[in-house]
Amino acid sequence: MVVERLPDGITKLLGMGQADSRGVRKGELVDVKVASRSVLAALIDAEMQADVMIGCVLLAVTGRHRGTQIKNSIRCVKDLGIEVQDIVFAPKASAQAVLDPDERNMGALVIDMGGGTTDYIAYDNGAVTHSGCLAVGGDHITGDISLGLRIPQWRAERLKIEEGGARGGRIVLKAEPERDFAGREVDGRLLNTIVHCRVRETFQVVRKRLATHGVRLDSLGAGVHLTGGCSLLRGIDGLAEEVFGLPAHLARGTGISGSASALDDPRYSCALGLVKLGYSLAKPSPVGHDTEEGRPRIGCAA
């Protein structure tokens, strides 16, 4: 994502780039060269939309990144001739996007459930009390559906997105002419059971970790804020309320103007948080140059 600060103080989204995540499994780089090509595709897309040359970025990494993994993440970007100005823990970036200062002071839990990992961070009195990462995400839900319903992974992914967590009943899987898969009926109740069991288990692990590190749920006055792609699953907020015993809601990015489709999409919360952190760091423009009017632009990668 690339943003700029306007004279009136408003931060405006100029452009964003997106590419399929390849060379990554469970939040860890398994093939730097392949992952680097994905990063390049996203960078080029963002540059074209924002009409800038991106020279350096803020880079978000998950809680599973340690030592060599962080070095590989930096290498993945540097191999493209792009400087990494700073490293940010991904859930901190997500929290920056979806929480306001009052919510951090009241106490809040942010859960960012992505494809390969689930990152989480808890605040109390404005300070981080605990954060972490689970190597479980939407890809695992897809795998469970594929195994449980005996359907291909690609069909399980589409079924998860279109029907996962929805009402029960019968769902007809229609044959796709370009794929070797015959349509058949699937019990919607079984689909929802598979989705809910995996998500419930993930939330329960987060709750247990919070307790282990002395985080009291009654200190989280602002409740649970769900973001990331999996937060789009129907009924996930109700399940979070049941597991944590706290109010839970789907969180969206705030404090930036621009395309509503990008700002309201929970998949982009981490990147939105990065660009907001970019200005709070008060460093020179990471895009490599300022606009003609002298307004700084910030480019970030998640």
Percent of the chain with pLDDT over 70: 85
Q: What is the mean pLDDT of the chain?
A: 84
The verdict on 188 and 288 lying in the same domain is no
Query: What confidence score (pLDDT) does residue 65 get?
Result: 64
The verdict on 132 and 242 lying in the same domain is yes
Res. 63: pLDDT tops 80: no
Q: Which two tokens stand for residue 192?
A: 């929802």
When divided into structural domains, the chain yields a total of: 2
The verdict on 132 and 221 lying in the same domain is yes
The verdict on 198 and 127 lying in the same domain is yes
The verdict on 161 and 143 lying in the same domain is yes
The pLDDT confidence band at residue 175, using thresholds 50, 70 and 90, is: very low
Strands (E), the chain: 2-5, 11-15, 24-25, 28-29, 56-61, 83-89, 108-113, 118-124, 127-134, 170-173, 184-187, 224-227, 248-250, 297-301
The verdict on 215 and 295 lying in the same domain is no
The verdict on 45 and 104 lying in the same domain is no
In degrees and rounded to multiples of 5, residue 200 shows phi and psi of -60, -45
Whether 109 and 225 have beta carbons less than 8 Å apart is answered as yes
Give the residue numbers spanning the domain of 44. 2-93+254-301
The verdict on 260 and 194 lying in the same domain is no
Q: At what angle do helices 68-78 and 32-50 cross, to 10 degrees?
A: 50
Rounded Cα distance, 181 and 186, in Å? 14
The verdict on 36 and 158 lying in the same domain is no
Residue (of 218, 219, 224) closest to 249 by Cα position: 224
Q: What is the pLDDT of residues 34-60, one digit of tens each?
A: 999 999 999 999 999 988 888 888 888
Whether 186 and 173 have beta carbons less than 8 Å apart is answered as yes
Q: Collapsing DSSP states into helix, strand and coil, what is residue 151?
A: coil
Q: What is the pLDDT of residues 91-115, one digit of tens each?
A: 999 999 999 999 999 999 999 999 8
The verdict on 242 and 281 lying in the same domain is no
The verdict on 242 and 115 lying in the same domain is yes
Query: What confidence score (pLDDT) does residue 151 get?
Result: 86
Res. 116: pLDDT tops 70: yes
CATH number of the CATH domain containing 171: 3.30.420.40
* Residues forming beta bridges with residue 249, ordered by sequence position: 225
The verdict on 88 and 105 lying in the same domain is no
